[in-house]
């Protein structure tokens, strides 16, 4: 019974170890290469040998307690640097250059698709026969003529609009100029320009409404375009002059002496008209007054005349061509 071999996988104890005189053939192999462990082997070598054969170490060579497996792992083999570089090369990397290249390739693909479709459309004309081509040419010519007609109509419309706008602009400018002229003459707008200032001093109250009215008429005959008395009354075509208590009445306003008359026009002509023999200056002197004429480059006429609406007069209708008035 002592010569029967041990069953593989059983754990030997310290009391059941084989005797020293036992044959070496009965000892179990400890390594996969056929080398036998000795009593002086390190625990690591014994452990690796036992793991290769599936047998567990004895209590004399195992540093760990009986029944507890070894916890020290087998040292891993160092990885080859070439394999690491190869694995890194196949690892996906995304950069801006790659994204830009992808977008460019997509754009090129789209352009190629459009070009292919355009070539397919031209193939329709290539495969058309002579009759179809003639019909296509006739249709294109008719469309071209219609477009030319539309262009001509649009150009004429543009010319009419431009000329109409020019005419309207010119008419508006003329209307504004005429309104300004009529406003100055009617006394509804202030006026400025060269002219004279006539001052009549009357200490004896000898200057009456008749003399002032004669002075206004003389100024109008000499070309006065705007007349103002005492910086208060604007003299117009409908103005009237009356004798009043302590002065004269012009358009319902009492004006005391001295009388200052501003007239806008040619200053030399107006001054000559006032100084001529038998004129306004001589007539005022004969009545005991004093008249002085001062020529100025700028005369301001700021008083305005209030225009009343006519009670009876109305604008006459425009006469049609060929009509005769009775």
pLDDT in tens, 81-122: 777 776 666 666 667 777 777 888 888 888 888 777 766 655
Closest listed residue to residue 294, CA positions, set 270, 278, 312, 316: 270
Residue 315, classed as helix, strand or coil, is coil
229-244 pLDDT, tens digit each:
999 999 998 899 999 9
Tell me if 228 sits within 8 A of 320, measured CB to CB.
no
- Provide the pLDDT for residue 14: 41
Q: Give the end-to-end CA distance of the chain in Å, rounded to a whole number.
A: 172
Domains detected in the chain:
105-186 (no CATH), 191-301 (3.30.70.1880)
- Provide the pLDDT for residue 39: 43
């Amino acid at each position: 019974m002592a010569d029967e071999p041990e069953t593989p996988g059983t754990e030997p104890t310290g009391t059941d170890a084989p005797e020293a005189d036992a044959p070496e053939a009965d000892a179990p192999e400890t390594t996969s290469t056929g080398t036998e462990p000795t009593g002086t082997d390190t625990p690591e070598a014994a452990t690796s040998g036992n793991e290769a054969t599936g047998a567990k170490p004895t209590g004399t060579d195992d540093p760990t307690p009986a029944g507890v497996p070894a916890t020290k792992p087998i040292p891993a083999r160092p990885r080859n640097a070439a394999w690491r570089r190869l694995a890194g090369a196949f690892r996906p990397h995304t950069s801006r250059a790659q994204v830009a290249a992808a977008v460019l390739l997509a754009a090129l693909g789209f352009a190629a698709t459009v070009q292919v479709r355009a070539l397919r459309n031209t193939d329709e004309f290539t495969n058309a026969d002579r009759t179809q081509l003639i019909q296509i040419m006739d249709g294109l010519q008719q469309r071209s003529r219609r477009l030319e007609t539309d262009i001509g109509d649009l150009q004429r419309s543009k010319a009419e609009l431009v000329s109409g706008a020019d005419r309207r602009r010119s008419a508006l400018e003329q209307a504004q100029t005429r309104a300004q002229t009529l406003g100055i003459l009617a006394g509804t707008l202030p006026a400025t320009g060269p002219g004279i200032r006539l001052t009549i001093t009357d200490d004896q109250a000898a200057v009456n409404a008749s003399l002032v009215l004669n002075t206004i008429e003389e100024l109008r005959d000499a070309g006065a375009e705007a007349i103002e008395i005492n910086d208060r009354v604007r003299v117009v075509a409908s103005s009237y002059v009356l004798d009043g208590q302590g002065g004269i009445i012009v358009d319902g306003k009492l004006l005391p002496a001295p009388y200052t008359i501003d007239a806008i026009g040619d200053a030399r002509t107006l001054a000559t008209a006032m100084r001529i023999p038998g004129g306004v200056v001589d007539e005022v002197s004969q009545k005991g007054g004093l008249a002085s004429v001062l020529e100025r480059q700028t005369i301001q006429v700021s008083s305005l005349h209030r225009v009343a609406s006519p009670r009876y007069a109305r604008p006459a209708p425009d006469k049609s061509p060929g009509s005769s008035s009775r």
